[in-house]
Amino acid sequence: MRRSALWAIAAIAASSCDPGTVSVELLDYVPSTDAYDFRVVDVETLEDVHHLDGRATTLVGDAELELNYQTFLLQWKDPGYRVAFAAVKSNGALVPEDFDSLAMVSIYYQIERSLLFFEDEGLDSDRLVHMETYYWPKFTIVEAGGEERIMEDNAFYLYATNTDRSFYVFPYAQFGWLPLSMNGGVMTHEFAHAVFDVLVTEPNRARIDGGGISLSASNFLYGLNEGIADAFAVARLGDPDFMSHSIEKGVYSFQCNSAVWKEIVRDASVPMNYAGSYDTAAASTPISQFCPYDIGAFFSAAVYAAELRSEGAPEGEGAIPSAEARSAFSRALLRALDRLGLALSANFELYDLFDLLLEELPDDASRAAMCSVLEELYAIHYAEITGC
């Protein structure tokens, strides 16, 4: 890590600790062009501009830690230090002076936008703990077989304890066109994992960790967690293919549940049928080896198609539901997840969540649209959905 950049003296007048709106020039998604470009945005929740510390998150640099899947322990070797944001003022906006400052203020802004999005859709954010964001930490993973790897080209949310839940953004090696830290969809995806944790996992943590629900239920929740994270990211930006801004399509793939190879870039506007093999994998694969992305991609694509159908919009790759439709489904999904957290069954199935979502949708058109999508894409379980 370039320590000199993290600890540069910030050449800005707004380096005080006074809260308020700060204008910053950074890379952000522009829906009209479906691309990222430099533009001036307002950051609203910073309490300490110089150290990028505010209501949304607190940036921390130079941390070092190890996550060991043999011992299931997270060991901190260096807790890191407060970062310093280096910028110059130009035409009333702060312009980052170096890459690290651009990346770090982008992270803060995208996490802030995610927080405000969920608040606008009805989440009581007081239920969230204040989360640090670790910028470019040295993060070593020790796999169950003893192999070690240092994290790169990734960003994630990690629950450690009831009060220690954080975001991690790692150095990029291959995905440098638009680093993940500057991709608003990626950061909202990670923030959505924190929301899922609060609404669903936390009320049932003892049961989930202690084997109080079935293996298939645990794996379905894992897949759902990925699916709702994509769905909320798409809803916030109106960009069903947000990952492609950072990762080139057709280049990176992975094996999912030892069955088929999957494209790493997921596009919610491409319909995806639910296959019986997903049930088989969920019932027979240890959660440490389970690949959640089939179920996740199916879920986000189903929600996206239902948003389009709810307003009679044309479907297909590149189609975009209106902000009103995306908001209606996001609000309903948040309420459904909150209810799921309070009434999670030991043998949870995905159709249990769809039933809750159907009950929370605001009108007959939305419910009919969701049911028509499920009849097509979720045909093998459609008869088990009581809300259709």
Angle between helices 350-360 and 364-377 (to 10 degrees): 160
In whole angstroms, what is the distance from residue 166 CA to residue 154 CA? Answer: 14
Which residue ranges make up each domain of the chain?
1-182, 211-388
In whole angstroms, what is the distance from residue 255 CA to residue 68 CA? Answer: 23
Structural contact between residues 273 and 294, judged by C-beta atoms closer than 8 angstroms = no
> For every one of its 388 residues, what pLDDT tens digit does the chain have, with 9 covering 90 and above?
333 333 333 334 344 444 579 999 999 999 999 899 999 999 999 999 999 999 999 999 999 999 998 888 889 999 999 999 999 999 999 999 999 999 999 999 999 999 999 999 999 999 999 999 999 999 999 988 889 999 998 899 999 877 789 999 998 877 667 888 899 999 999 999 999 999 999 999 999 888 899 999 999 999 999 999 999 999 999 999 999 999 888 888 888 887 677 888 899 999 999 999 999 999 999 998 899 999 999 999 999 999 999 998 777 767 899 999 999 999 999 999 999 999 999 999 999 999 999 999 999 999 999 999 999 999 999 999 999 9
Enumerate residues 6+ apart whose C-beta is below 8 A from 271. Answer: 301, 305, 315, 376, 377
Q: What is the DSSP letter of 201?
A: I
